[in-house]
Chain A
Amino acid sequence: MTAHLSPQLTVMAADTDGINGVALAVLIVLFLLVTVAGFMATRFKRAESMESLEEWGLGGRTFGTWITWFLLGGDLYTAYTFVAVPAAMFATGAVAGFFAVPYTIVLYPIIFVFMARLWSVSHRHGYVTPADFVRGRYDDRGLSLAVAITGFVATMPYIALQLVGIQAVLEVAGLGGGDNIVAKDAPLFIAFAVLAAYTYSSGLRAPAVIAFVKDILIYIVIIVAVIYLPGQVGGWEAIFGAAEDKMAANNAAAAEAGLPQSSSFVPGSGAFWAYATLALGSAMALFMYPHSVTASLSSNSRNTIRRNASILPAYSFVLGLLALLGWVAIAAGTQPIGLDGEPNAQLVIPQLFEDMFPSWFAGVAFAAIAIGALVPAAIMSIAAANTFSRNIYKEWLKKDATPAQEAKVSKLMSLLVKAFALVFVLTLDKQNAINFQLLGGIWIMQTFPAVVFSLFTRWFHRYGLLLGWAVGMVYGTIEAYQVVNPATGKHFGGSTALIPGIGEMGYIAVTAFVLNVVVAVVVTAIMQAMKVSNGQDETIPFDYFADADDPRVQKDLAAHDAEDATDARAPHHEADGDLPGGATSR
């Protein structure tokens, strides 16, 4: 790297402690704009009735390539990502932060392979969640419940983290200070109550519309920042130089204190496995989350998601630039200090914008992050609610629930989920939300074999998949618990641990996944030898290739609906809650 030192600019904003009036005004105006858009969203690709999960929870499966691009972009690249990735770069460097770039690149070839099949089979059978598919593939309520609960539990802390993203912005804007607990958290309350209201009324259409605003704001803010800021702090050479110096100084200090040297400028040979497994594991896990599946299934054709696999990387490019803003902040001498006077790396991006830009543009950046939290929070709460109403309420509590009842339960659940996230963030230490989210990533990956392998083969036995899942969950949780933060001495201090047999640090989710698959294979072999039934498969090979406009699908659905109509009067037949005309026949 460069030998000459960068001119360290120390920018001390005069108004760090007070309320930034202009920025706040811009933030509020943009927030009001998306609120109106959120309520108006019911008119977007208007349906005859919103009273079904197909409409409320999947937007009627009508979103084309560009809407899906905005929706998935808004869904996957969350506010928390925008806050946490640069914060990790700022604090400990490339291994902890920049892995997000290879992660969001290898993501797309992976989903290209299986997402079209999941779309088709879900379209044919009206599946709304991955657990629905598992239920249909094996007719096994236990395995389906395992997938559903994992998805639900892993999503909860993720929603909470979106609030952490909003909090970071509000804190830098000067709101949320003081000792009065009501005044302190009132802005967050209001933001979330408004979000809950329009999600309740508009369903998935609300985040689909807001995602346009969010993504456009994010692109503008980051492009402007990346063009303007480097010149202000001495250019990219100076930025990388400052980062290299800081990481070296961090490691020297850690060595002196007898702690592991965990900072990195460019990953050293000890971090190769960690970097690669973090990227791969995160990529495999991301589309197991209910919110990613919801956004994908809302597209109007099996090819929409594949076409998107080649245009969504645009967001990955922006994410990479954003990660580097964490290092721009090092060169700029940004001091991310919370309203409580403590340093907090999570505040580095909002603080950088407040220090370096005119107030109005800082307001636009704050709005981009805050609105960026609303889109994923809405989709996540919808997806978690769908999972609850489909795979827990209808499956276990009220088998004869009608689509309207399902939608009602989902809508109420979406409120409850958000309320829970709010309580979680306000009452518990923020660190808990982060720890649970790390744990959630490890957990959700354990559903990969049951969902993705089953899309291609029924070789795996349902009990093998269930046992593999259980082993992966237990192993992953124990390993994560044993990671102790050397500075604070607390458990769940990170998501990497030694990989047994390889002796390198790696992402715990991947190790647990390998164990999961091994158990699944062994148990499957045993079950096959013992000739234990592998359940009833309600899908046929053609289902995995069906498209919306496939003439055969139309024909078969007509036949299917006729059969359902006859069946509806037959008392022996379990009512399956299909709407006349079928959820799938549009």
Chain B
Amino acid sequence: MSLGHTPPPRPGPEVPPTDKRKMALAAVLLAIPVVALLWVPSYARVEPELWGFPFFFWYQFVWVFICSSLTYTAFRLTLSARGKTTHKAGEDR
């Protein structure tokens, strides 16, 4: 615990080298579910139904899976965006 004093200066780059385009793409992927689900008028309706479920309900259930795959893709992207520095192959950072 080092509250109250400044850590010593360290060697090496301060911010690891980052592939900005991949990070931007990851940001877009993460923004998609937020925008989609906060845009309530786009799905607050009953039709079309699926197996007796009004659209409002099954649509949001579907987003559980879409969101999950988008965050996973974003996760892989952030790994590869910062993956090629001093690290051993395959090591997360």
Contact = CB atoms under 8 A, between A and B. Distances in A.
B85 to A, nearest CB: 10
B44 interface: yes
Contacts of A276: 37-40
Given A313-B64, A545-B15, A236 B53 contact: yes
A563 B38 CA distance: 50
Nearest to B10: A556
Contact of B1 (A112, A549, A550, A577): A577
B3 A576 contact: yes
Given A98-B57, A108-B67, A303-B92, A551 B6 contact: no
B78 to A, nearest CB: 7
Interface stretch (A186-194, A216-224, A533-541): A533-541
Interface residues of B, number: 55
A175 interface: no
A542 interface: yes
Contacts of A545: 15-16, 82, 93
Centre residue among A313, A320, A573 by max chain B CB count within 10 A:
A313
Contacts of A108: 67-68, 71
Contacts of A547: 92-93
A536 B38 CA distance: 38
Centre residue among B53, B54, B72, B86 by max chain A CB count within 10 A:
B54
A560 B8 contact: yes
Contacts of B54: 1, 240, 265-266
Contacts, number: 181
Contacts of A578: 1-2
B71 to A, nearest CB: 4
Contacts of A177: none
Interface string A234-246: 0111011000000
Contact of A267 (B8, B31, B44, B92): B44
Given A102-B38, A240-B54, A540-B10, A303 B79 contact: yes
A268 B39 CA distance: 13
Interface of B: 1-8, 10-16, 27, 30-31, 33-34, 37-41, 44-46, 51-54, 56-57, 60-61, 63-65, 67-72, 74-75, 78-79, 82, 86-87, 91-93
18 contacts: A1-B46, A1-B54, A101-B61, A102-B38, A108-B71, A126-B2, A136-B2, A139-B4, A266-B44, A272-B44, A303-B79, A310-B69, A540-B7, A540-B10, A549-B92, A551-B87, A560-B2, A576-B3
